[in-house]
Structures are given as C-alpha cells and as structure tokens.
C-alpha cells in the first residue's frame, strides 16, 4: 500500500461527507453552505476530501453544483480534492474542473452494480480502462482510485465471496487503478471479516490497497476500523455527523462519524493531523447549512475528556470541548 511521507499524518482521514453524506439526503444543501462547510473542514486539518460526484443532476440533484464545488475546493492549499466519477463523461468533467483524484465505483455485487451505475462489473472495468487512458493522456498527475462497493455483503444479492473481491481488486489494478479501497456499503461487515478481507486483498495487490470505507449501520463501525488498522490499512473514509449511505443499497446507512473516528485515533496516539475543536466548529457550519438534519456522533455529545492530549502532544484550547446542547 502507499507509504505516507514523513510530513503526512500516521492515519489519513478522507472526509466523504460532501459527497457520500449529502447524496442520500432529501434536502439539497445550498452551494454557498457547501463551500463554507468545505472551508471549515480544511481549517480543521482535513487533508483529503471527496467533494461530490459527476452524475446527472436528474439522478442526484444534491450534486448539481459539483463542478463549482471542485473548482472552489482546489483553491485551498495542502489537501487532495476527490470526485466520484461513474463513467468517462464524468471523468472528463472532473478533470476539467481540476479534481486531484478520481474515484470510480466498482461493485463486488453484480446486483448492486446494476442498481448503482446501471452497468455490469465487466462494463465498469472497461470504463476504468477508458478513464485511465484519458487520465494518462491529459492529467497524468491525477490519482485514480477504485472504491469497491458491497465488498462485505450486499442487501440485494446477499453474501459476497471473498475470492471474488480479491479477483476484482486485482482486475482493477490491471485496468489502471492506482488504489483499490474496500467499502462496507451495506453495513454488514464484522471485525473478523474486515481483518481477513483486507489482508487477502493486500496480499494480492500490495501497495495498491487503498482506503477502508466502513459504515456504522449495526454499531460496528469503529470496531471495524480497528480491525482494518490491524490489517495494515492507514486511510479511512468517514463522514462528518455520520451523514450518508448508498441510495441504491436498501438498508445502507450510517457512515463512520468523522468526529468519533478522529477522537479514537488521536486518543490511541495515532496522529490524524485534524484539530477536534475546529472539527466541532465545522460541524456547526454543517448544521447551519442543513437545518433540522440529524447529525450523529458520541464525541460531540460528550465533549473531549479532561486531560485529553493529541497524538502530537498538543492540548485542546478548551473552547469547544463542552457537550452539544440538547
């Protein structure tokens, strides 16, 4: 898997709220509110963020302003701005907007692939090859990631075979992916399964292993993070306030809460580079942009404990450590 530079955090948190979080909501967050939230996340120390998906607005009206959002986000220094692209047309638009990294969804489940992108898995691998050729021709510095949906089970198809996940991961690398991450799209994973599957995929594709995208649907999100850490994963997707889930996977809900994930890792002595107090401030910007939308997370409710110290030795300023108002 990719090695982090000495200046990089020990664990990279990839914030997916502006894409995966917002796409499942009935409400459409105003563009100005999105930009303010993204700026607040940058100020908190987030260094990788998925800001939207290049899909038809008729399918996901929440993403209608994605090009404008990407163009804004890339003006902020020192972070990687990602966009989800389900096809070559989306990749062309994302590159034109200046995205630093493209993420292509590839489902381990044939049923989910048809529901999510209306293509077979074989067709998506061909799409990946076309996007890789485009990237190599016009923007060779842009990273290309595959997020393997339903890698731990599918509510439409049922169990997903481990050897099928490994086969698809290897096929994605062969087709041009720089990284392949595994997603618990439907919240069906358990720690033993997570540890085993990431180890198997790492054995097959080595340094190309990417992020763990885990859900808290059944309360196992952070436990599964620990299992993935044990398997060597060092990049984790999460969503502020726990927003999100796949709109094309029945029962999918509950992304891992960024606030809780950062607190756990920092308390364990693993540097994330994220300031929790500024992250709480970003949460308030999110709340203002989505009034009435429930936000999840235990850390915002409980506050930071007395004596809390960041992994790098810093201590909180104490401004936002009080629990949220009920």
**Catalytic residue positions, numbered:** 246
Three-class HEC string of 142-164: CEEEEEEECCCCECCCECCCHHH
Burial 116-129 (b: 16+ CB within 10 A, else e): bbebebeebbebbb
Handedness of CA 267, 9, 202, 151 (dihedral sign): positive
Q: Provide the pairing of β-strand 179-183 with 209-213.
A: parallel
- Residue 102's nearest CA partner among 89, 87, 85, 116 is 85
Burial 55-72 (b: 16+ CB within 10 A, else e): beeeebebbbbbbebbeb
Tell me the residue length of the chain. 326
Bridge partners of residue 67, in order along the sequence: none
Alpha-carbon span 138 to 82, nearest angstrom: 17
Tokens of 214: 């885990």
Output DSSP code: residue 304: P
Half-sphere exposure of 11 (CA within 13 A, CB side): 30
């Amino acid at each position: 898997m990719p090695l982090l530079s000495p200046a990089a955090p020990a664990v990279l948190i990839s914030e997916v709220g502006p894409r995966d979080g917002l796409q499942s909501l009935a409400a459409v967050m105003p563009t100005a509110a999105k930009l303010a939230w993204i700026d607040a996340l940058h100020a908190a120390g987030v260094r990788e963020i998925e800001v939207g998906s290049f899909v038809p607005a008729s399918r996901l009206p929440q993403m209608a302003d994605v090009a404008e959002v990407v163009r804004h986000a890339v003006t902020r220094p020192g972070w990687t701005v990602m966009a989800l692209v389900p096809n070559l047309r989306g990749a062309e638009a994302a590159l034109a907007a200046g995205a630093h990294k493209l993420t292509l969804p590839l489902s381990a489940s044939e049923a989910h692939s048809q529901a999510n992108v209306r293509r077979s898995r074989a067709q998506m691998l061909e799409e990946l090859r076309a996007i890789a050729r485009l990237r190599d021709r016009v923007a060779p510095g842009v990273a290309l990631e595959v997020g393997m949906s339903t890698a731990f089970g599918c509510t439409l198809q049922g169990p997903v075979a481990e050897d099928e996940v490994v086969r698809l991961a290897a096929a994605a690398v062969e087709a041009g992916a720089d990284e392949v991450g595994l997603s618990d799209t439907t919240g069906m994973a358990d720690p033993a399964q997570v540890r085993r599957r990431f180890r198997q995929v790492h054995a097959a594709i080595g340094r190309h292993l990417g992020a763990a995208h885990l859900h808290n649907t059944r309360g196992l999100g952070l436990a599964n993070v620990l299992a993935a850490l044990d398997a060597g994963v060092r990049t984790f997707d999460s969503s502020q306030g726990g927003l999100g889930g796949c709109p094309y996977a029945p029962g999918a809900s509950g992304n891992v809460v960024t606030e809780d994930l950062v607190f756990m890792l920092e308390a364990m002595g693993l540097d994330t580079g994220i300031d929790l107090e500024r992250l709480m401030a970003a949460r308030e910007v999110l709340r203002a942009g989505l009034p009435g939308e429930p936000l999840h997370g235990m850390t915002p409710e409980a506050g930071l404990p007395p004596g809390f110290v960041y992994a790098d030795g810093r201590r909180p300023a104490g401004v936002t450590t009080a629990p949220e108002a009920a």
